[in-house]
Amino acid sequence: MLSPKLPKIFYGGDYNPEQWPEPVWREDVKLMREAGVNLVSVGIFSWARLQPNEKTYTFEWFDRVMDLLAENGILACVATATASTPAWMSKKYPDVLAVDAQGKTYYPGARQHYSPCSPTYRRLAAALVRRLAARYAKHPALAAWHINNEYGCHMSACHGEASTRAFRGWLRKKYRSLEALNEAWGTAFWSQHYYGWDEILTPRRAPYHPNPTQQLDFRRFMSDAFLELCVMERDILRAATPAVPITTNFMGFFEPLDYRRWARELDFTSWDSYPDPATGHAAEASAASGHDLTRSLKKDRPWVLMEQVTSQVNWRPVNVLKRPGVMRLWSLQAIARGADGVMFFQWRASLGGAEKFHGALVPHAGTKQSRVFREAKALGAEVRMLGPVIGSLVRSRAAIAMDWNAWWGVGLDSRPGRINYAATLAEFHRYFFERNIAVDFVHPGEDLGDYDLVVAPALYLLAAKDAANLERFVARGGVFLTTYFSGIVDENERIVPGGYPADLRRVLGLWVEEWSPCVEGETKRVRFAKEGRTVACSHWCDVLHLEGAKALATYAEDFFAGTPALTVNEFGRGAAYYAGTKFETEDLARVLDGVCERAKVAPVLRAPKNVEVTLREKDGGRFLFLLNHGVQPASVALGGFAGVDLLTGGRVRGTVKLEPLGVRVVAVDGGSARAGTGE
């Protein structure tokens, strides 16, 4: 269980009492109880109200909020309030303000304008957190700590003086000598050689492409700089309350922060999921990928959906509403994919400020007439019924290897063609999502012993040791697939010479001589040998040579007609596939079907289109989730699965019917059913 004090699925949301007079707080807690809320994240943006000037703290109002929560049996995920600095602070200490690559300052007036490297920010944030920790350490409402909020969301790269100094310090620690830095950065190029550490700058506005390794190191440094803040707060909190779990809210596939490094430092992971209802079924697929990432970052325990919206957000050009039933469905989807908490932004809709048109559990009109509140209350009751799933985990035999360094590297300027790394990962994830095959996101260098299949699309930057790890995975019987522009550069963003993809050549049994990227809209033809089918490909065509691999498909046009486009190499006890081009979605799915079959990786159950199926497991319990994202009823044959529907108490076996947007959560009878077979 994530918090010893709250052995329940967390249900609640961001609570911002500073926006309301005290009589409203009393109504809030009454309504929270009515809605089944058991946890609120409180104080996230309270810094200005907790500290009116450097010397004065005003915790009394916050004490009253905490007491009121405790009296009403509602627990608090207490925020450290450091996400937005008060105006007095930057007036007194302008070094708190962040600066962009053009040298322009970010001013207060919105939020998150602080520089992560400002010593003043760090000093004042630490002072606040120390006081909060001491004051609430023993408070009966405290169940968890919520550090800061969505680090880097709006401001993720500071080029100010403090950041520049800190960047130099980070580089010194990493490279130790200027020679090593010059070598790694390739400064022989364009007269970039450095003779002193103080010559080095952050990659600021420049006439042309800044040094790529400098850019890459700056991204690593910034991710680490924000992480340092988080760890600083974590250490203060942990010292004061060793038993209280600590998290900060992630944002899923958020490029600026290498969450893999972050997750290790936290007690549980959490994230804020805002799929766009306007995107149809892509919305639930995209939420699923963020859920799977958040889960994979800390595989040994459940995670928390820290924020989502009840109805509609305010920050898209058009903010499409979640139709009735969608909030419930998407909340249960998070639980289906391993969450032990379903929370919202925010509890009560603001009357003023930039987010007044953002949905909330309590809308502007109040609760009496509100569809949203009715649904929230019903969901609160259902979430309570799902208590038995607490602590259970989603177990995957398939994984997508991804790395923030590869993401940053492939996204740099001056590449042969544009590769959208996040979209590429999403495309591969969607295959597994639609097939109802459980899938994790892993680092290519981590222990892959849990997996039978690893796919690694566009793994452009790959350290030799990570390539060796993938090779060992295949040698021991794993099935691996990678795609064009993988294994091209090392961790310093330098080409590994002698034929691409250097360190993966052996396992793939091929080498790539050159590539021919396609212009927008251009397609080529590819012929699959066995099936005798010719299909279209696009985006990129590797021109490659076999060194032991077998061609499964060949190009059917251009000067490279007849050369391999898709290959497989038997290696050790396993097999390594390579796709040198981009296939259309259905053709890729066919390729991946073959790859999964080879790896003996199977869906939890075969279900109709738009029905999501997952399984959570723990000692003594397995829970089958069926979620119908379609607008038509659907029937699912349960195979060998049978048990009790936790939401209705009824027994289910054989074939079950799901209403449009309907959900079943089946506590599976002990016995014969096994994940991946339904038998």
Annotated catalytic residue 150: yes
Q: Which of 150, 471, 493, 612 is catalytic?
A: 150
- Beta pairing partners, 144: 77
> Which residues inside 253-272 make contact with ligand GLA, applying CB under 6 A?
272
Instruction: Compare residues 83 and 504 and give the one whose CB is closer to ligand GLA.
Output: 83
Instruction: Compare residues 47 and 170 and give the one whose CB is closer to ligand GLA.
Output: 47
Instruction: Compare residues 277 and 457 and give the one whose CB is closer to ligand GLA.
Output: 277
307 lies in the binding site for ligand GLA (CB under 6 A)? yes
Nearest-approach distance from CB 10 to ligand GLA, in angstroms: 16
Nearest-approach distance from CB 20 to ligand GLA, in angstroms: 16
CA distances from 492 to 258, 310, 496 (A): 16, 44, 10
Question: For residue 256, what are its two tokens?
Answer: 């600026």
At residue 390, what are phi and psi to the nearest 5 degrees? -50, 130
Closest CA to 231 of 148, 351, 135, 121: 148
Instruction: Compare residues 183 and 355 and give the one whose CB is closer to ligand GLA.
Output: 355
Nearest-approach distance from CB 72 to ligand GLA, in angstroms: 24
Instruction: Compare residues 50 and 453 and give the one whose CB is closer to ligand GLA.
Output: 50
Query: Residue with CB nearest ligand GLA?
Result: 272
Closest CA to 12 of 32, 34, 31: 32
Nearest-approach distance from CB 151 to ligand GLA, in angstroms: 10
Q: What DSSP designation does 320 have?
A: P
Nearest-approach distance from CB 118 to ligand GLA, in angstroms: 21
Nearest-approach distance from CB 272 to ligand GLA, in angstroms: 4
Closest CA to 65 of 32, 30, 18: 18
Residue from 3, 37, 66, 150 that binds ligand GLA (CB under 6 A)?
A: 150
> Which residues inside 274-293 make contact with ligand GLA, applying CB under 6 A?
274
In this structure, which amino acid lies at residue 441?
F
- Beta pairing partners, 516: 541
> Which residues inside 551-610 make contact with ligand GLA, applying CB under 6 A?
none
Instruction: Compare residues 148 and 333 and give the one whose CB is closer to ligand GLA.
Output: 148
In this structure, which amino acid lies at residue 209?
H
313 lies in the binding site for ligand GLA (CB under 6 A)? yes
Instruction: Compare residues 295 and 358 and give the one whose CB is closer to ligand GLA.
Output: 358
**E strand intervals along 134-203:** 142-146
Instruction: Compare residues 53 and 314 and give the one whose CB is closer to ligand GLA.
Output: 314
User: Within 13 A of 62's CA, how many CA atoms are on the CB side?
Assistant: 27
- What contacts 119, CB < 8 A, 6 or more positions away? 95, 162
Q: What is the spatial distance between Cα 471 and Cα 49, in angstroms, rounded to a whole number?
A: 55
Task: Please tell me the count of residues contacting ligand GLA according to CB under 6 A.
Answer: 9
345 lies in the binding site for ligand GLA (CB under 6 A)? yes
CB atoms within 10 A of CB 357: 13
Mark residues 107-146: x for contact with ligand GLA by CB under 6 A, - for none. ----------------------------------------
Q: What is the spatial distance between Cα 294 and Cα 272, in angstroms, rounded to a whole number?
A: 10
Nearest-approach distance from CB 526 to ligand GLA, in angstroms: 42
Q: At what angle do helices 22-35 and 60-71 cross, to 10 degrees?
A: 30
Q: Are 645 and 636 in contact, with CB atoms under 8 Å apart? A: no
Nearest-approach distance from CB 354 to ligand GLA, in angstroms: 8
Instruction: Compare residues 322 and 443 and give the one whose CB is closer to ligand GLA.
Output: 322
Q: Which of 18, 284, 307, 493 is catalytic?
A: 307
Residue from 113, 220, 322, 358 that binds ligand GLA (CB under 6 A)?
A: 358
Mark residues 371-410: x for contact with ligand GLA by CB under 6 A, - for none. ----------------------------------------
Question: For residue 527, what are its two tokens?
Answer: 């012929």
**E strand intervals along 242-336:** 246-247, 249-250, 270-272, 303-307
Sign of the dihedral defined by the CA atoms of residues 539, 544, 548, 553, in that order: positive
- The pairing of strands 651-652 and 621-628 is unpaired
Give the residue ranges of DSSP H helices in 186-338: 212-240, 259-263, 281-296, 326-336
Closest CA to 30 of 1, 72, 60, 70: 72
Annotated catalytic residue 307: yes
Q: What is the spatial distance between Cα 663 and Cα 633, in angstroms, rounded to a whole number?
A: 11
Nearest-approach distance from CB 410 to ligand GLA, in angstroms: 27
Give the residue numbers annotated as catalytic, written as ranges.
Answer: 150, 307
Contacts with ligand GLA by CB under 6 A lie at 149-150, 272, 274, 307, 313, 345, 355, 358
